[in-house]
Structure 1
C-alpha cells in the first residue's frame, strides 16, 4: 500500500487530497479537502492573483490538518507527495510547491511536480477506475478548453485541439457579468438556462466553418455576440429575456464542445471519452455529451462535480499513477511553471 498526498494551488482553491494505491494499481480516495477563496474575488469579477496567493498561504496548513483528520492518518504515513507545478498563476503555484517541498524534505519521501491539466483527467480514475488506452479527454474549465488524447496518464498525453482565445469558463464569467449574474458565472447561467429556450436566439458557433481548425475552440466571438444582442435590446428599451439568453448561450457552448469532441473520437477511433474540469459540472454539456456519445457508440465518463473542480484529490491521483508507472521523482529545486504544457505530465 502506498499513501500519496496531493496539493493543489494553481488558482483560487487550496486543495489537499490523500489516496491509497494498492498493489494491483487500484486507488482509494481517503480525503479531499478544499478551501476556496472565490468569495474574495467575486467583487472583482475574476481571480486576483495577489489575493489568491495570500489566501493559499492562510489556508494551506488548516486544509492539510483537515485532510489528515478525515483520513485518520498522520504525516508520517505519507509515502509520496504530488503537487501542481503548472499551469496556473505563478504566485499561487509557488505556495503549493513550497509547501510540498518542505513536507517532502522533512518526511524524506519522493516529490512529484504534477501537471494540473493531467490531474483533471486523473480525477476520473478515482470514481470510474483505470482509463482505457487510448481515451479522449475533453477538458473544460475557467482557463482551459482542450481536446486531449490520453495514451498513458502518467507519461503520454497529446493535445489535439485547444482554445485560441477565451476558454469556455471565461466566456461563462463574462456573459454572466453582461446579464448581471454573480461570479463565477457557470452555476447561475446553468440555473437560468434550465428555465429558458435554447433555440430562442441563434448565437454563433465559433470555428465551425469548413476552413476552420477542426478541433480548436473559440468563444470570444460568442461572448461578444451575446453582449451586443443584450446591448441592442437595452438601447431599444426592450426587456432582456435573461433565461432565454442564458439558454441560447449555453447551447452554443455545449454544441461546439461536444460536437468537436465526438468528431475527434470518431476520427481517431477512440471508444472512451472523459469530460473533466470545472465546466464539466454543467448540466447541458453533460446531457448533450451523453446524447451524442450514445449515438456514436462512445463510452462517456464524467466525474462527480466535486472531482471536476480544482482539488487536491486529482493531484494525489495523478501522483499515484506516476508512482505506479515508476516515473522519476522531481528534484527538490522544483519550481512553478505557469505555462506548463499538458504533454509534460510531470516535471
Structure 2
C-alpha cells in the first residue's frame, strides 16, 4: 500500500510518499521561515497564500522523486487539524480534489497523531503501550498511548507551549525568527550557576504544563541584565535548563503514574540536544527506553502524515466527498484502529 501525504497545518508545506514495504519513497518540504521572519511570527493569511503557491509543484516533485504516478497510489492523506484554518483548507481541498480526480480514497489525519507516530518511520520502532511527550511551537502534551487511536491525554499546556516559550524568549534576547533553535545554540555558550529559573508546575501534582510565567521571568531577567553577549548566553542556558528539567520531571511522573518504561518524544522541540541528553539519562536510570523521530521529521512534514494516513487507510477510516478542516481537535476524539 502506498500513500501520498500532505501537511499544511502552519508554515511548512510538506509532501511525501510512503510505501508500506519500501518506507519513505520521497520527501519534499518547503519552509516559510523567510516569509514570516520580518514579522517575528507566522502571519496566517500569508501562510495560506504560500501553501497555495507551493503545494502543487511539491506534489509533482514528490511523484517524480518516487518515480511513480497517481496510478501507483492507494490513497491520499492530509492534515485535517489542528492548525491554522486557512492553511488546513489549502491542504484538505487540494488533497480531496486530487483524490476525487484520481479515484482514490482520502484520509484526514490529526496533526499530533502524525507527530506521535513519526518515530515509527525508522528502526527501531517503539512498541505499544508507551508515554508520548509531544512538544512543539503550538503544543505541549503528555499522552498515554495504548495503540493507534487509543490515546489518553494526561496533561497539556494551559498557556504557552514549550516551543512558543522558546521562540518568545529568543525574541526578547534579540534573536531572529524562529528563535527556538537559535536560543538552544546560544545556550551552548552559556555557563551554569548565574541564574536560577523556576520549574513551573512541578511542585504541585498533575501533568499539565505552563510556560507563560517562565517567559515572564526571562523577560524580567533580560530587562535587568547588562545586555552583554555572555550574559545573554547565560540567560539562554538557564532558560533552556528550566524547560528541559520541567519536561523531564513531568515525563518521570507520567511513567511512574502509568507504570510504563517506554517514552516517545516528538514535535519540533524534540530536536533539542539538551532535552534528548537529559531524557536519555533519565530513562537509563529507570532501565527504560526512549524514542525520537529522525531530526528532519521532528518538525512538520509530509512523511509523518503519509504514515499515519496509511494506518487509517488500512482500517478504512476515510473521508467522504465533503470534508472539513478542524483547527481545534482533541486527540481523544480519534477512533481506535
- Report TM bin, short chain: over 0.9
Query: Helix, strand or coil for the counterpart of 1:208?
Result: coil
Superposed CA deviations along residues 240-286 of structure 1, whole A, max 9, x for unmatched, are 70111111000000000111112201220112111000111011111
Identify which of 243, 248, 257 aligns with 1:253: 243
The answer on whether the counterparts of 1:198 and 1:249 sit within 8 Å (CA) in structure 2 is no
Q: Alpha-carbon deviation of 1:193?
A: 0.8
Structure 2 counterpart of 1:56:
51
Query: Helix, strand or coil for the counterpart of 2:322?
Result: coil
Query: Helix, strand or coil for the counterpart of 1:128?
Result: coil
Structure 1 counterpart of 2:255:
265
> Does 2:177 correspond to 1:183?
yes
> Does 2:224 correspond to 1:232?
yes
Structure 1 counterpart of 2:300:
310
> Does 2:190 correspond to 1:192?
no
> Does 2:4 correspond to 1:5?
yes
Q: Alpha-carbon deviation of 1:149?
A: 1.1
Q: Could you tell me how far apart the structure 2 residues matched to 1:117 and 1:239 are?
A: 37
Q: Alpha-carbon deviation of 1:327?
A: 3.8
The answer on whether the counterparts of 1:113 and 1:346 sit within 8 Å (CA) in structure 2 is no
Q: Alpha-carbon deviation of 1:208?
A: 1.2
Structure 1 counterpart of 2:147:
152
Q: Alpha-carbon deviation of 1:346?
A: 6.7
Q: Alpha-carbon deviation of 1:232?
A: 1.4
Alignment of 1:192-341 (within 5 A): 192-209=186-203, 212-234=204-226, 241-324=231-314, 326-341=315-330
Q: Could you tell me how far apart the structure 1 residues matched to 2:269 and 2:205 are?
A: 22
The answer on whether the counterparts of 1:19 and 1:30 sit within 8 Å (CA) in structure 2 is yes
The answer on whether the counterparts of 1:18 and 1:30 sit within 8 Å (CA) in structure 2 is yes
The answer on whether the counterparts of 1:190 and 1:250 sit within 8 Å (CA) in structure 2 is yes
Structure 1 unaligned spans of 5+: none
Cα pair distance change 1:11/1:247, threshold 3 Å: same
Cα pair distance change 1:346/1:50, threshold 3 Å: farther
Q: Alpha-carbon deviation of 1:129?
A: 5.1
Alignment of 1:83-98 (within 5 A): 83-98=78-93
In the alignment of these two chains, the number of paired residues is 336
Query: Helix, strand or coil for the counterpart of 1:331?
Result: coil
The answer on whether the counterparts of 2:26 and 2:62 sit within 8 Å (CA) in structure 1 is yes
Structure 2 unaligned spans of 5+: none
Q: Alpha-carbon deviation of 1:186?
A: 1.3
> Does 2:336 correspond to 1:342?
no
Query: Helix, strand or coil for the counterpart of 1:241?
Result: helix
Query: Helix, strand or coil for the counterpart of 2:154?
Result: strand
Structure 1 counterpart of 2:67:
72
> Does 2:14 correspond to 1:15?
yes
The answer on whether the counterparts of 1:13 and 1:311 sit within 8 Å (CA) in structure 2 is yes
Q: Alpha-carbon deviation of 1:213?
A: 4.5
So what's the TM-score if we normalise by structure 1?
0.93
Q: Could you tell me how far apart the structure 2 residues matched to 1:346 and 1:94 are?
A: 22
Q: Alpha-carbon deviation of 1:319?
A: 0.8
The answer on whether the counterparts of 1:262 and 1:296 sit within 8 Å (CA) in structure 2 is no
Q: Which runs of 4+ in 1 moved over 4 A?
A: 237-240
Alignment of 1:109-124 (within 5 A): 109-124=104-119
Cα pair distance change 1:229/1:312, threshold 3 Å: same
Query: Helix, strand or coil for the counterpart of 1:201?
Result: coil
The answer on whether the counterparts of 1:186 and 1:282 sit within 8 Å (CA) in structure 2 is no
Cα pair distance change 1:28/1:144, threshold 3 Å: same
Q: Could you tell me how far apart the structure 2 residues matched to 1:313 and 1:198 are?
A: 38
* Alpha-carbon RMSD: 1.6
Q: Alpha-carbon deviation of 1:16?
A: 0.5
